[in-house]
Copies of this chain bind each other. A is one copy, B any other.
Amino acid sequence: MPEADRERFSDFLARLSPRDRGDLLRLALRRKVAKCELVFQAGSAGNFVHFLEAGRVKVYHLSSGGKEVLLWFCLPGEIFGLAEVCHGGGRQVYAEACESSSVLSVSQRDFKAYLETHPAVALLVNDVLACRLRNLGNVIQSLVASDVNERVVQLLVRLAATHGHKAPNGEICLDIRLTHQEMANMIGTTRQSVTSALNALRRLGVLDFDDNHHLRIHSERLLSETCVPAQHPGA
């Protein structure tokens, strides 16, 4: 189920040619970010684009009631803070380090000038934005049309694709450890409901936890819990 080279795919820096990467890094400032420290926050100016060199960063909305809506996790090599740099306007989301991290930052002005002279990179930025757009479209569909148990399953499918690696025996192990609250924040439900759904899936044999408490998915069983997209009447 994980797409081949998925990890390499999301690693923006690794997908640049050595020359393009060198030109970009020449524009970048490096910064250490402690666990729980904000890289940027909603309301601030979106005048830098960031690359995660090491660590993990979560990107989330924070609602007026204080509810955190977690959009995605950034892994090393990934670009983030991109939407406001491309489109302009202030930040709408928060980017916060989940662990001690290292971030490279390029100013909006430098980045735009760089894209104008590096067409292959501009296309790659399109690619990243398009991929995230498709993903959010899937999240919206899931939120609207699926009950909580289905949403947990669909999240597992997404996590397997972005953070999973296939073990020799066909199982998929997630490289990332998430709390039930984090998962709940990604699918718009409560921690308790995630706990309950995961335990039901565990009893069904769909998943378990390895010695390090990483989630391990039995992919064939997971697929049997997954809904297939509908064919349009008239198709």
Contact = CB atoms under 8 A, between A and B. Distances in A.
A229 B88 CA distance: 18
Contacts of A43: 229, 231, 235
Given A67-B144, A129-B130, 17 more contacts: A42-B232, A43-B231, A63-B227, A64-B228, A66-B230, A84-B130, A87-B126, A87-B134, A89-B134, A115-B119, A116-B119, A119-B119, A125-B126, A129-B133, A133-B136, A140-B188, A145-B188
B127 A86 contact: yes
Given A119-B116, A227-B64, A232-B94, A87 B137 contact: no
A34 interface: no
Contact of A133 (B115, B132, B138, B188): B132
A157 to B, nearest CB: 14
A164 to B, nearest CB: 18
Interface size bracket, A side: 35 or more
Chain A to chain B: the 5 pairs with minimum beta-carbon distance, closest first? A63-B145, A144-B188, A86-B130, A87-B130, A129-B129
Interface of A: 38, 41-43, 61-67, 69, 71, 82-89, 92-94, 112, 115-117, 119-120, 122-123, 125-127, 129-134, 136-141, 143-146, 188, 227-232, 234-235
Contacts of A146: 63
A202 to B, nearest CB: 24
Contacts of A188: 140, 143-145
Contacts of A115: 119, 122-123, 126
A232 B64 contact: no
Nearest to A120: B116
Contact of A123 (B41, B122, B145): B122
Number of copies of chain A assembled together: 2
A92 B158 CA distance: 15
A67 B89 CA distance: 33
Contacts of A84: 130, 134
A63 B143 CA distance: 11
Nearest to A71: B137
Residue picked from A62, A89, A115, A116, most chain B C-beta under 10 Å? A62
Contacts of A123: 86, 112, 115-116, 122
A140 B136 contact: yes
